Structure 1
Amino acid sequence: MTFRTGALDGLVIADFGRVLAGPYATMLLADLGAEVVKVERPEVGDDTRSWGPPWVGDESSYFLSVNRNKRSVAYDLTDDTGLDAARELVARADVVVENFLPGTMDRLGLGHDAVRDLNPDVVYCSVTGFGGQNQLPGYDLLIQAVGGLMSITGPDPRTPTKVGVAMVDIITGLHAAVGILAALRHRDRTGEGQRIEVNLLSSLLSALANQSSAYVAAGVVPHAMGNRHPSIAPYEVFAASDRPLVLAIGNDRQFAALADVLGRPELASDERFSTNRARVAHREVLTAMLNEALAADTADAWFTALTAKRVPCGPLNDIADAIALAERLGLEPVITIDDPRRADPIRQVANPIRLSATPPTYRSAPPRLDEGGDGA
């Protein structure tokens, strides 16, 4: 198979990341052409290799989700032989990524200062839970709890609920990737490498966006409202005749179009609903009226009728439905990677970034442990 040159072709990344945030960042960069060498513990490897079910054969689907386009090397970093091999790798790498507890890489002799002595223009990215000065271990659920996300998620303030995926890790991985690309751009101009630090707590506080701004700028502490929005209405889940339907009305034009399609055009001129501010103030009565109107037809029928009038809405899909929708829309959400080491091709979710000249490529399936050990 022939692949086009990637935007990051020729870039070498020494990936000491584990679990999700670091590996997600390096996979995104690998998809864009970087050569990523994943350093793992001998015999056991990345923790996520054992996180299942689900399993694909004897492999964890969790591990497979964030480790394509990488080579795996198994180095015992507490052993001189493994440490020497790791030093050789970082000495030739453009980027080093690690997400150990703060201080671990320094104790191993692979911290930023030691690596910079070997490789003066290196870009070195550390991912931590609570910042490099704090020894607290950081897992996504923990950060969702202490970082406030669970307090605004769930049916009400008495029922704190986590998001159904490790979203904080993913957001932090994205921030790490952006930081790495910014540092590489700086190095292109000046020849100077630098250290990047991202942490899960700060990434979450930034990603809380309007919710954290409500407190910082206005002194308002947000709380869980179920599927409602604190500042917009109608913007929640409603009940069609067969299953739930989401309406996400962002402006008065959309609300007027919604009212017209529902056969209730007078709602748009009702002073209780004519502006978003008024709709938020009269949310309860508006919700009851909309549920009554939407009960007259199915979610799919409303989806067809409302989207034809550019009203943001949609049925409540499961992940299989979501993949099917993306396929119908021509987004090509699933890719397959042929691998002679496996009986069947690996199916994965595609990289969402679309580049016209240097698109993401899928050169190799997630590696078996130490599969790239020779000549790394």
Structure 2
Amino acid sequence: MRIAKMLLAATLAFTVSNVADAQNAKSIKIGVLNDQSGPYADMGGPGSVIAAQLAVEDSGLKAAGWKVEIVSADHQNKADIAAGTARKWYDVEGVDMITDLTNSAAALAVSQITRDKNKVALASGPATSDLTGKACSPNTIHWTNDTWALAHSTGKAVVETGGKTWFFLTADYAFGQALERDTASVVKESGGTVIGTVRVPLGSADFSSFLLQAQASKAQIVGLANSGGDTTNSIKQASEFGIVAGGQNLAGLLIYVTDIHSIGLQIAQGLILTSPFYWDFNDGTRSFAKRFSAQMRGTQPTMVQAGVYSATLHYLKAAAASADPHDGLKVVDAMKALPTDDPLFGKGSVRADGRKLHNMYLFEVKKPSESKAPWDYYKLRATVPADQAFRPLSESECPLIATAQTSSAQK
């Protein structure tokens, strides 16, 4: 009798364990980690959480019986907070994938932890090209843009139209330094000269001393190697100082549609910018924007938020097809093997170094007289094909490339 009870208990325990394993196999937890309250909140922030939720809706996984949960946190643009949150999410809360990661220093920290824990990081918000260069990881994919792409589109276009001498206002952390480095390289390769640079603390409210240095340099172009609230503040204050009126021009190297909305077309008109996404680009982008803005009080999505949607959608497709959706390496390998295709970025692919490839577009900000409706801000100047938009593998320092080439040769 005792043996029979023991066998029954063991059978029940085995059955419960199998049911739990089966349920766990069809369960995914996503973390949106970004700036929710600081200078980068408009480009990502709560809007990135909405974008991830829309991707889950469109994936169809819930209808197929999957449990997909989304959590979010504010890293306050501090790498240590981002790292601590990532560890807690991975070790305690069972998060499988972290996305957005606006702020390059935070993204670099989380990328390393993600590798250590064998999870997935999908970087949509940060721009440093080091994420697919010397700091690349087999568990991280860099989705939306990067400093190499921005420099070789916006920077090159400005030099080719006469902007030969440059002075940089640079956000003083990993992103700004990488953007200045990559743009300065393009300026010099194109026959231009960098006269000087000044490093500006993240989140500065007063740019007067930095702008006075730029003005005194007499450089034709004042390159803004910053982003978000820093960009809008520097452009507004540059207007107050009469920098453009005095004959110098601004080059916004990373501009978001929310920046233009904040600045206004009267000041922003004529700015050249690069983006892989614009809400009013085609029927697919407009459909997404309508759903997004309905939950964001009329605000249109930025390229970062569009990247969160696109990356999350592809991740969910790969995770569902994977033998183990909780094995980060296997899921990332599946993401690299599957071609990408969604209504916001179109067709694309993910390279061995973790760089997501898609077209980039050079836009010009409209004059007030050209804008026909709210948020009607951009006009297309040029399309940069996916195979030209990002740093070629031959120039990359990413060690994953050699590994992938060896593996391919052995096959």
What TM-score comes out, normalization by structure 2 length?
Answer: 0.26
Q: Which has the higher helix share?
A: 2
Larger Rg: 1
State TM-score, norm by structure 1.
0.28
